[in-house]
Structure 1
Amino acid sequence: MAVAAANESEQAAAGEPTPTPATAANDRPVATLDPRLFMAACRGDSNQLKELLLLEEEEEEDEKQGTEGGATGAADDMPAVAAAHVVVEVDPWARPPDDAAPCYQKPKKKKKKKKKKDAAAPAPPSGSRSTPLLDGVTIEGDSLLHVVAARGGGKKFLRCAKMIVREKKRKGGAAAMRLVLEARNNKGDTPLHCAAGAGKARMISCLVDLAAGGGGETAVKELLRKQNQCGETALHQAVRATKNKKAAIDQLMAKDSELACIPHEEGASPLYLAISLGEMEIARHLFHTTKGKLSYSGPDGQNALHAAVSRGQALPMLLGWLENDLKAADMQGGQAGEIRCSAPAADLLWQLSSQRDKNGSTPLHLAASLGGWPRAGFLSKNFGHVWAKSRSATRLLLDANLSTAYQADNKGSYPIHAAAWSGGLGAVKMLLKRCPGGATLRDGRGRSFLHVAAEEGSYGVVEYVSRRPKLSSILNAQDNNGDTALHRAVHAGNVAVSGCLIRNRQVRLDVANKDGMTPLDLSCSMIPPGFDYDMNPRRIIELSLASAGAPHGGGRPEPIYEKWVTKSDEDKESEKLTEATQVMSIVAVLIATATFASAFALPGGYRADGDSSNHAGTPVLAGSYAFNAFILADALAFVSSFLATVTLVYAGVPLVDSSIRIKYFNIANTLVYNAGRSFVAALGLALYLVLAPVDRMIAVTVCAIIFVSLLWGNMVAWGLARVANTVRARIGVRQAVLRVHARQVCFEVLVHFGSYVIIFGLPAIRKWARVK
């Protein structure tokens, strides 16, 4: 806001109208800079620039003398005006009549005649009569001096810059010269910003010397400290430059040693910018050049430590400066509220490490949450200079200021809550090791870090707490709503985290929250209503709690169900069932088609000629164990898929009652499962029959791979096995519970794998009977 106000005041001082929001929104920017001037400025062509601006020979000779006076062209003095003369402004494109007198006469000088180029001069572009040539701008708002400053730092560009500034001074005096040096484009950048952003150290020196010639040291400091719309000075642009950063920085700092202290409070300082961009060498150069007398401030209430947290080696480097180099420094105090080296090193370090940004986060909050970003572990492991490890950054900041572990953000969350949210087990361990009392800290919602970890699915943190007896005091801690960590895990529907807490016998399963709901009540209310998958994670959690002996809350169930259990929408349930039926029908039809075709393309082929024992047209491999198993598998796959297709026809008709449709769908689901497994078995047996005569090892390997993959497809059995393991860890091996789960597991295995008994069992019995 301060920068915008300063820009408006400068426009008012220059006599320029301040655009209103409506004008800025409706008027599109228009380029008024003559294209030939633009081309000459981009090329650094001072001769063409002089011809287009109709400059006099005296100016040319003075410029030559000024250019030849310097070896490098980096610091030229402004030539003094020899004699006063009257200048009459005319339109440079208007051609005077042949008998007209000249606009002005040079005193005592009539040696050279200007070559007449008016006849050959091209017509000016439209609109040039209303806009003076030197006042034109590009579409980005760049003046002619902006273009020259950003393009180069050689002698020809320096000459063009001096020519433009002198012409402005000749026409409008020192005030016009200052305006052209301080002119701003659409981003608020001055020509000095452009030169610094391009890394043109000689151009920086030239512009600063021109400002000194027009207003002395005061004008130089004002120019150097001009801020664009982002609140950045030319030093910020030098930090952003792609090349010659150090040379540009040295030129700017040589003219104003306190330039790195801007901005004082709000906005990104040059040091913050260098660290956030990963420019560690530039940050080190800034610090040592200023001897620590620089601003550490950043945007949104941050400082350089906030930026250094995630930038690999930036944090230990910056903390090393603050702890070592600044101990011997005795800096003068700055303005109130400034973050500068105005206090002893310990005070400055405490101030930086405890400063909160707009969200209330300290650097320790950021360090503790580093692991929450996607691919953070991969980045910290393989690109340590790009992304730091959460544990190491947390350790460094705790060493610098241990009290920040007890500093909360705007929502009341402490660094340990941030670490638990991001799943940073290393940071959690470090915080608990250095600050054991931090385990009981509560955030604004009354949650411990275990609540946060359970709700966000941070399994590593939850498992660590469950295995530490010293942390058992927070296992059953309740937040402001009365929820324990198990309540939050059940609410999130995380099977792994819920199972980890249920297996711990110190976790109480009968604690009710303020709504009177135990974890079992909450899990029942979270199950999706209507048509749903049996092994839905929330159903597994509900089954685990019930099997472990978790009770319901007191009172009647009607109020709880009316308040918390969502009623199903018949229309949506019907639509959901229809879509599921369509998907399953496609699978059933594909299996039926493939198995029907394979029945007439048997492995091994058919006999062409018959004999006394074999008939023509019969399968060549008939009678072998593998072939008999293949025939059974193919037949079962076809029959199951065909029956599933017919059953799905009834399940997909909306006219049938929903309960009947769901029943038919469940039957079809079982048939499709059996059809798929039989089809896979048929494929494995067919490959075995073809490959076994050639390479038996490959044939066996292929069959093994195919049949092992079938185990992964039985998710129901896996879900029941997980529930059984959770219950075993909670209540031990009890015959009643073990009998129930064993019966359920056996039933599921028989339903889903019973077809294999027929496929492999019948041929084996037949072969055994023949041998006997």
Structure 2
Amino acid sequence: MEGKLYDAAVQGNKILLLDLLKEDALLLDRFITGRYPETPLHVASMLGHLEFVDEVLARKPELAKELDSHKSSPLHLASAKGYLQVAKSLLHVNPDMCLVCDIDGRNPLHIAAMKGHLGLLKELVHTRPWAARALMDHGETILHACLRCNQLEVLKLLVGRDSDPEFVNYKNQDGNTILHLAIAAKQTEAINFLISSTPIDVNCVNEDGYTALDLLSQNQRDATDKRIVDSLGRMGVTHARDNPLSNSQLKAMRTKILLSPWDQSNVISKPKKRKHGKRLIISNKNGDWLERKRNTLMLVASLLAAMAFQAGVNPPSGVWQDNGSSGFSSTESNGKNHTAGFSVLADNYPDVYTVFLISNTTSFLASLSIILLLISGLPLRRRFFIWVLMVIMWVAITAMVSAYLACIIALTPDQSNSSLISILVIATRIWVCLMLILLLGVGHTIRLIIRLVKCLHKLVVRLVKPKSPRPRV
């Protein structure tokens, strides 16, 4: 019966599958409880038989997480062949299979990227975006795999979705970034893309102490080397050492970088000590900066919103408990009558209450705006959007400080604690100045300004640079 089921999977024969299940209703269960090199779902996924796959998944969705003798799931095989609809069916049943690695330490996203299946890769990244951050064996990222397999379009897609400098500049076990790999392989288009459109560190050195420019020959270089050197020179790339590499050193270094890690293990007699876990995720090493910021902003915004709401419905000094004369001796009140439920502070200090109300409302609305943006599902995973949220948070905190100051001024008698109020005012001003320095002085704003200047510079250069005349036919 198992042999007939395998034949049905090879043919994609759904009718034969149903006939076999009528004869033996537990036929598919045996592939879950038994030991088989592969299941019929593996075969059908590898051959792209969508109807057969859907029928098997409808009856036994547990088969989607079964692994073959190479620890490959059906999603691995569908990703390798580029069957998008089959992959969608498998993802619908068990999307966490994006995180499962085969015997070579590759998950389905790695395989789809290495094969250049853009549409399938988009679906996988959309389903489990953090799977793209998983490391393969020997500490290489999915970006390293793209460079090794010369998949420039896939590289552009992945960097466009996640341009975190930590991700782009990640080093493998030899300390080589994707720029080292691109230059060692002389992939000119990839080099130009990396140095012009990504936050790649062009002067990063590997474990041997060589920058990307050191990998290029200084003597007898060909036209490709000259173009690469010119591109790197415009970006301010320098040598790691004063003396350039010799031709023999250059050849040995390029061979070392271009060899896959599995080939290196056969060539090198004494393997290096591994520095990375087999399935380490980058975000777990130094922490996902963006995710931490999102969680922190959500927590602080929720706290500020609760504080502002509580202060709004229960204003300082409370509310009048009955109707009658205020009995306040100040000339500002002029003996006005008060109404039960109205704010005491609004009657006694209308100007201060106005400042308090404006500041408290501003803090409340700013906090709600942060919460709404974070739970809206918008793609706020870029540093620019996080920077905008941090500015809004700064506004909310500053407004809350202003509301606090207004309350302290209104609740403290001037004749007894005027010096204390002056100290509070000075301390508050110093704190606001410190917030301005932090906001304008940290690297977020500086990097934003630098990027804007670079974009404007490139735009001006493109507009000013004369177009070369077209050759006549």
Higher RCO (CA-CA < 8 Å; seq separation 6+): 2
Q: TM (normalized to structure 1)?
A: 0.31
Q: TM (normalized to structure 2)?
A: 0.49
Q: Which has the larger radius of gyration?
A: 1
